[in-house]
Every structure is written in C-alpha cells, then in structure tokens.
Amino acid sequence: MNDDQLLRYSRHILLDELGIEGQRKLLESHALVIGAGGLGSPVALYLGTAGVGRITIVDHDTVDLTNLQRQIAHDMSRVGRPKAESAAQSIGEINPEVQVVALSERAGPERLDELVAGADVVIDCTDNFTTRHAVNAACVKHRKPLVSGAAIGFDAQISVYDTRQPDAPCYACLFPPDAAFEEVRCATMGVFAPLVGIVGSMQAAEALKLLAGTGESLAGRLQMLDARSMEWTEIKTARSPDCSVCKAR
C-alpha cells in the first residue's frame, strides 16, 4: 500500500482483527453487488469506502423520485439515470481508487453464472424470489459466499449462505424454490427508510469480514429484525438433505 492508502484506511489498519494484511485482502478483492436500491446503496457505499478493490454493481432499473426516501446512493440530479451508474458515481466521489463496473441490465441465470464465477463474494440486494434463487444457484455452483438481505415494511432479515462450509445451508435450504411464498414489494407495502440502511450496512459488514478473513460470519444463522420494537430474533439453520440446489452441486 502507498502512503495515501495507509492514511485513508488507517482506522481499519489500527484494528488487530484487520491490520495491513486484512486491508490488503480487501484491496485485492472483487465483490458482486446485485441490486442498487435500498439495500444495495449502503452496501455499495461501504464496500467502496472500505477499499474493496473491484466492485461490480448490477441493476436494470433507473432512479425514481420515490427511491430517494431510502436509496442513499442516489440524489435528485440523477432521477432517470440507471441506478448502477448512479451508485458507481457515488462510490467514485468518495473513493476514486476503487474500480467499479456498473451493469445496467437484468441478469438472468446464464449471466449470473458468468458474473458470480469471477467474484470473491456476492451480495444479494434484490427484492424478488426468482432472482434470489438464481443468484443462490450460481453461488452454490461456484462455491462463492452469498450475503443475502431483505426488508419490507418494518421487518427485515439477513444471513450468509456459504456452502464452502460442509454443514452450512444455501438460500434454497431455507426457502425452497417450489414453496409458495407471498411476494410483496415496497411499491405496495412500503418500507421504513432506515431499515434498509440497517440491513444493508450489516450485509456490507458480513461481506468485508468474509473478504478479509476475520470474525465469524452469519452462515448457519438467520437474523430477523422487527424495527417496530427494534427486537432481533436469531434462529440456527442447517443444510437440508432434500435441497434440490445443494444436492445438485
């Protein structure tokens, strides 16, 4: 690291759990962020400020006025612009050293298979089960750790799905693709603005720990937040022997 990097990342370097080696790992890492909305905004910004060397952001949508209540990577001047490009610009304004690739596209299974293969960690910030399952399948196939978050109304959840660990579940172990889950969206249900900031920041933290090789991840644990009372609930999770995705590995 050069002198400017030693200064910029000094508060990380001072941490015994990170230090120069941990920061160097971040600088050499590649994170794939899928979704640049409420969750993806804090994820992208914190990964960028922390010095993750390469960040790929995928989002097919454009910035809308209704997004600005919670999607902090965007502002009024970018209404109508692709969200991926807007998030990349925000990262660049804070940390121009980070290499950001903004992909303004809806990534299907084949494209996700290609993108996930080249990443060190994948952060799922999407809002629908179809995409989440496609992301999970690619992560299982390529043995990439997946940090998944979700938020709607005043309720949220977060976990890490890391099938490099023999007993850790994948997303499909907990939420089978053929199960009948009710799909709800912010446009119809609403979402408490700070909630996505809380969960997105936690997703960034989990991703950074995985990349730096420090701490204990949320693999095998699902945390759920009721923001009405600010009460966290955690349940232990395990790999399902009947999971079609894990069994197909």
Residues 204 and 42 sit within 8 Å (Cβ to Cβ)? yes
* Amino acid occupying residue 65: L
Q: Go through 67-93 and write b for each residue having 16 or more CB atoms within 10 A of its CB, e for each that does not.
A: beebbbbbeeebeeebbbbbbbbbbee
Catalytic residue among 125, 139, 186, 243: 186
- Nearest to 85, CA basis, from 70, 97, 101: 101
How far is the C-alpha of 249 from the C-alpha of 245, rounded, in Å? 7
| Cβ atoms within 10 Å of 28's Cβ, excluding its own | 13
Q: Is residue 186 among the annotated active site residues?
A: yes
> Is 169 strand, coil or helix?
coil
* Amino acid occupying residue 235: I
Query: Which residues are CB-contacts of 80 (< 8 A; sequence separation ≥ 6)?
Result: 62, 63
Residues 201 and 49 sit within 8 Å (Cβ to Cβ)? no
Query: Which residues are CB-contacts of 178 (< 8 A; sequence separation ≥ 6)?
Result: none
Active centre residues (catalytic): 186
